Chains A and B, each alone.
Chain A
Amino acid sequence: MPIISIRNLVVEYEGRRVLDGLNLDIEQGETMVLLGGSGSGKSTLLRHIIGLERPKSGSVFVKGIDITRCSKAEMKAVRRSVGVAFQSAALFNSMSVEDNVALLLREHTALAPSIIELVVWMKLAAVGLADFGKLQPQELSGGMKKRAAVARALALDPELLVLDEPSAGLDPIVAAELDDLILFLKEAFHMTVIVVTHELPSAFRIADRIAMLYRGAFSLVGTKDEIRKSQNPRVRDFLDRVPADTAKMQAVGTYFERYLQNQEAN
């Protein structure tokens, strides 16, 4: 049984359809990359997978529980099995890095403080931040913040790790280090990983399968090879970095002419 099943997911904001009847299964232990350009709906899809928003219609099953209709107790159980690292890292600035990681353990477990300290050190060591636990989040670099966010997401040993744009805003070397970290975590903890990104090298490095989003619908869902070989025009445009019409001089000229005609008509 897939760990996540999305069925006919429709999301609208003020009448504007953002996700249009999506269907997707994510299997236990696989790394699924949600790939797409800006505004394609990948972050919106992610927010629905982690239960932050309710869709207009459709269902999102996480471990067999429909989180769009479940009770609070069921949602609690689901949330404790999911670790999320947000695009902005979203570390609590009023706490040190180790307190950020310890927060979940203090709140949701009855572990002794010495055990919590040990677990926190292990999680920070897993992401290469063992020596930085005492620092405040604002003292960390961009890449370190993202690593700390991953350490916090790992605190309760989740079955599912969700990463929103992990390499956005990072230089290529730090981004590659984060890719290595994701591969290492998958290998070490055997967890299912969902990554939202628009970075092609990163996606092809870490993915088992890739779901390509375009304007709220999947253009293609498949393995890395299937994506590479695809002749789907949306996929090809994205892979071959073909600019949209808005960036072409001819298109800009046409818009300008239309604008002038409208002005004259008025």
Chain B
Amino acid sequence: MATVLESVGRKTLNDLDYVGSLNIQLWATLRAMVTALPFVGNRYRWQATVRQMLDIGVDALPMIGLMAICSGFILAMQGASELRRFGAIHYVIELVAVGFSRELGPLITAIAVSGRSGSAFAAEIGTMKVTEEIDSLRVMDLEPVEFLLAPKYLASLIAVPCLSVVSNFCGILAGGLFMFFSTHLGLMLYLHYVLTSIQLRDVISGLIKSLAFATIIAHVGCLEGFRVRGGPDSVGRSTTTAVVRSTFLVIVADAVFTAIFYFTGKM
């Protein structure tokens, strides 16, 4: 019994330590982020931010677009197979439009970015830790949080919501293609129904979620990198942990935000 309690206590303390580290890192990054802004900040940080935006955003576009199209088809087909029985196939349009703008668009984007960029952040920073590059930055009076983390976080905050919008568009487009082939509904008419079924707050709630997801992915990825101890094998472990933890936390955050929007009448 004592052993069980001990292990539960140790796990709880470790989790609290992790959450505390994430919070400290988040505040340190927010303080340093002004240096990564264009015009007012350091131009080398802004250049690094733009490079990160290309990595996180532009390079991920084909993958996220394809994932959203496939998910749009799946949602439309699954919805249609049930709704058809009640003669309500036209509700597929609302299902896809609202489902994507509120939920699936940001979530699919977050999962893809977590796998691509969250793991890359952990691997990059972890490798820098192992090869003494982080120490090198510190002795050169370059703060790792400002030098590495601030550009990554700012780039994530810009790229992830943009990718979510693209994901929404691709998912809804896939729904339109399904409706065209299954009911011969014209794309312009489909678009009209989409615009009448979604409201601005649906899109905004999705974008708020994607900002939270970007925060989770950037900070979990970087924290896992900074926590690397030892040799190259620990870099591999931290990369895996970054993806697992950020995906888990993204889904938890999604549930929390959905509940908040639901109970505050925003949805």
Write out, one digit per residue, whether chain A residues 67-96 have a CB within 8 A of any chain B CB (1) or not (0): 000000000100110101011101111000
- Is A76 in contact with B139, judged by CB distance below 8 angstroms? no
Cα distance A91–B141 in the bound complex, in angstroms: 15
A247 to chain B, nearest CB (A): 25
Asked if B13 is at the interface (CB within 8 A of a chain A CB), the reply is no
Residue on A nearest B139 in the bound complex, by CB: A84
Determine the chain B residues whose CB is within 8 A of the CB of A106 once the complex forms.
44
In the complex, A90 Cα to B127 Cα: how many Å?
A: 11
A52–B139 alpha-carbon span in the complex (Å): 7
Name the interface size band of chain A. Answer: 20 to 34
Q: Which of A52, A90, A91, A107 has the most B CB atoms < 10 Å from its CB?
A: A90
Which residues of chain A have C-beta atoms less than 8 A from B132's C-beta?
A: 86-88, 90
Q: Which residues of A contact B44 (CB under 8 A)?
A: 106-107
Is A185 part of the binding interface, using a Cβ–Cβ cutoff of 8 Å?
no
Kindly supply a per-residue 1/0 record for chain B positions 126-168, scoring 1 wherever the CB is within 8 Å of any chain A CB and 0 otherwise. 0000011101101111100000000000000000000000000
- Asked whether B135 lies within 8 Å of A86 as measured between CB atoms, the reply is yes
B135 in contact with A90 (CB, 8 Å): yes
Query: Is B133 in contact with A90, judged by CB distance below 8 angstroms?
Result: yes
Which residues on the B side are within 8 Å of A26 (C-beta)? none
A79 touching B139 by the CB < 8 A rule? yes
A108 to B140, CA, bound (A): 9
Interface size on B, residues (CB 8 A): 12
Q: In the complex, are the beta carbons of B136 and A86 less than 8 A apart?
A: yes
- Expressed in whole angstroms, the Cα–Cα distance for A80 and B141 within the complex equals 7
From B42, B131, B140, name the one whose CB has the most chain A CB atoms within 10 angstroms.
Answer: B140
A164's nearest neighbour on chain B, judged by CB, is: B132
Residue A24 at the chain B interface, CB threshold 8 Å: no
Chain B nearest Cβ from A83, distance in angstroms: 8
CB-CB nearest in chain A for B43: A106
- A90 partner residues in chain B, CB cutoff 8 A: 131-133, 135-136
Q: Do A84 and B136 touch across chains, with their CB atoms under 8 A apart?
A: yes
Residues of A within 8 A of B138 (CB): 52, 79
Collect the chain B residues with CB atoms within 8 Å of residue A107's CB. Answer: 42, 44, 140, 142
* Interchain nearest-CB distance for A47 vs B (Å): 8
Task: List, in ascending order, chain B residues with CB within 8 A of A108's CB.
Answer: 141
A220 to B132, CA, bound (A): 30
A51 touches B (CB below 8 Å): yes
A52/B140 in contact, CB under 8 A: no
Instruction: Using A86-B135, A88-B132, A90-B131 as known contacts, list a sample of 15 further A-B pairs with CB atoms less than 8 Å apart, ordered by residue number in A.
Output: A51-B139, A79-B141, A80-B141, A84-B140, A87-B132, A90-B132, A90-B133, A90-B135, A90-B136, A92-B136, A93-B131, A93-B133, A103-B140, A107-B140, A107-B142
A-B contacts, 18 listed (Cβ < 8 Å):
A47-B135, A50-B139, A79-B138, A79-B141, A80-B141, A82-B139, A84-B136, A84-B139, A84-B140, A86-B132, A87-B132, A90-B132, A90-B133, A90-B136, A103-B140, A107-B140, A107-B142, A108-B141
